């Protein structure tokens, strides 16, 4: 059996991580769920002003990284 290329393993790792986050978000939407949604934990991080600045800066950096570069 030929060895699995490391590129496929790397891609699989990203797919698993992203899929897990999607599953978490779906599970978090159920009534009474203990898992916070993305919006809830980002909102929690944004309670202090510095958290708000950092999260918005991170959002902007993502846009710069993927759309301006």
Partner 1 sequence: MATDPAPARRDATARRPWRVARPRRPADFALLSLLGGGLAGYAWVAAAAAPFSRGALVAVLVPGALLGAIAVARPPERIPPPDHLDATGMSYWMICLAAFFEWEASAWRDSSWPWHPSFTNLIDPLLAPHLVKTLAILVWVLAGWALVRR
DSSP class of 44: H
Alpha-carbon torsion angle 50, 56, 60, 66, nearest 10:
110
26 interacts with partner 1 by CB under 8 A: no
48 interacts with partner 1 by CB under 8 A: no
Burial 54-69 (b: 16+ CB within 10 A, else e): eeeeeeeeeeeeeeee
50 interacts with partner 1 by CB under 8 A: no
Q: Which is nearer to partner 1, 29 or 50 (CB)?
A: 29
Q: How far is the CB of 8 from partner 1 (least distance, A)?
A: 9
| Residue whose entry in the numeric block shows the structure tokens 């999607």 | 22
69 interacts with partner 1 by CB under 8 A: yes
* Dist CA 20 CA 28 (whole Å): 12
Where along the sequence are the contacts to partner 1 (CB under 8 A)? 5-7, 10-11, 13-14, 16-18, 20-21, 24, 28-29, 31-37, 39-44, 46-47, 52, 55-56, 59-60, 62-69
């Amino acid at each position: 059996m030929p060895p699995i290329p490391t590129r496929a393993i790397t891609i699989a790792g990203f797919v698993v991580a992203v899929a897990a986050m999607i599953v978490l978000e779906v599970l978090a939407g159920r009534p009474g769920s203990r898992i916070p949604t993305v919006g809830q934990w980002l909102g929690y991080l944004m309670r202090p002003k510095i958290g708000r600045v950092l999260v918005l800066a991170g959002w902007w950096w993502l846009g710069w990284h993927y759309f301006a570069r």
